[in-house]
């Protein structure tokens, strides 16, 4: 396991891990996750690349920074880590909320993007219904955030994979319960207020890839298919029996795909 490292940014701590040498690959976790979701990816990919996995604000060992963790605030925090490491260009891969954040990063700092991986995520803002549902989720978290975590995580897997990956789900739940109620709400607010980034897909002149689970209730095909036609250079991986957690539900296929994508960037 690579050593956990920390920087101080705006009077808060940001934690990260760096492993390997070569082309820079930045791995960004999703909501209620932390950098440890990438451990198997980092072990494999660090044989060819320099892999940096970062705890986003309020997750893992990174401090909460604000009552609302906007995608831009998170992007600025990631930029601080890369500045500290003297990295000026990298391939970015973001899972779920990490994908939203990667798109915000690409909007703010397009010159730093060598390639962009959207992993069970998309470029759209929340719909009106989506914003209402985020508000309901925030109220559930206020009432009992640990119960919210217990219910939320299994639903990210297909029914079959909920049985197959029982231990992995328990581990995700255990790690997520260490996130404070305030941090969970800050991220939900940030996602609720995020803006549409489809223009980023069209203006970026670098390879962009999408990893899509056909059984994913959060990034459904009716949402994703119009988006994959936007970039100038696009690569798509469609996973048949996968919902929202392809890095667990189909590790071998997803890690191999990202390996190839990074090499082509």
In a domain, 10, yes or no: yes
The pLDDT value recorded for residue 34 is 98
Q: What is the CA radius of gyration of the chain?
A: 17
Mean pLDDT calculated for residue range 151-171: 97
In a domain, 118, yes or no: yes
Mean pLDDT calculated for residue range 234-246: 98
Distance CA 67, CA 186 (A): 5
Nearest to 171 by CA among 58, 63, 40: 40
Determine what percent of the chain is predicted with pLDDT higher than 90: 98
pTM reported for the whole predicted model: 0.97
Distance CA 127, CA 124 (A): 8
In a domain, 208, yes or no: yes
Structure tokens at 205: 């002149």
Mean pLDDT calculated for residue range 220-229: 96
In a domain, 69, yes or no: yes
Query: Helices marked H in the chain — which ranges?
Result: 39-45, 71-84, 97-108, 128-152, 159-164, 166-176, 181-192, 198-203, 221-228, 246-249, 251-264
In a domain, 153, yes or no: no
In a domain, 131, yes or no: no
Nearest to 2 by CA among 31, 41, 57, 30: 41
Structure tokens at 78: 């990631």
**51 DSSP β-pair partners:** 19, 25
210 lies in which domain range?
4-125+195-264
CATH of the domain at 116: 3.40.50.1820
In a domain, 27, yes or no: yes
Residue 171 has pLDDT above 90, yes or no: yes
**Number of domains, the chain:** 1
Residue 3 has pLDDT above 90, yes or no: no
In a domain, 185, yes or no: no
The pLDDT value recorded for residue 115 is 98
Structure tokens at 26: 């930045």
């Amino acid at each position: 396991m690579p050593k956990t490292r920390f920087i101080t940014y705006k009077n808060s701590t940001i934690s990260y891990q760096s492993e390997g040498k070569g082309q820079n690959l930045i791995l960004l976790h999703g909501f209620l996750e932390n950098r440890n979701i990438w451990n198997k990816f980092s072990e494999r990919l660090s044989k060819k690349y320099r892999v940096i996995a970062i705890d986003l604000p309020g997750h893992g060992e990174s401090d909460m920074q604000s009552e609302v963790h906007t995608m831009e605030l998170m992007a600025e925090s990631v930029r601080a880590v890369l500045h500290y490491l003297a990295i000026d260009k990298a391939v970015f891969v973001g899972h779920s909320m990490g994908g939203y954040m990667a798109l915000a990063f690409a909007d703010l700092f397009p010159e730093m993007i060598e390639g962009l991986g959207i992993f069970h995520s998309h470029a759209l803002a929340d719909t009106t219904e989506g914003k209402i549902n985020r508000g309901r989720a925030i109220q559930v978290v206020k009432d009992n955030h640990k119960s919210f975590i217990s219910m939320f995580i299994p639903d990210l897997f297909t029914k079959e994979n909920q049985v197959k990956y029982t231990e992995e789900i328990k581990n995700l739940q255990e790690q997520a319960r260490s996130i404070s109620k305030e941090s969970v709400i800050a991220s939900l607010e940030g996602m609720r207020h995020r803006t549409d980034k489809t223009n980023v897909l069209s203006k970026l002149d670098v390879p962009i890839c999408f990893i899509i689970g056909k059984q994913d209730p959060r990034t459904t095909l009716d949402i994703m298919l119009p988006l994959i036609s936007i970039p100038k250079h696009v690569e798509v991986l469609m996973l048949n029996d996968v919902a929202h957690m392809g890095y667990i539900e189909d590790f071998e296929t997803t890690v191999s795909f990202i390996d190839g994508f990074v090499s082509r960037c």
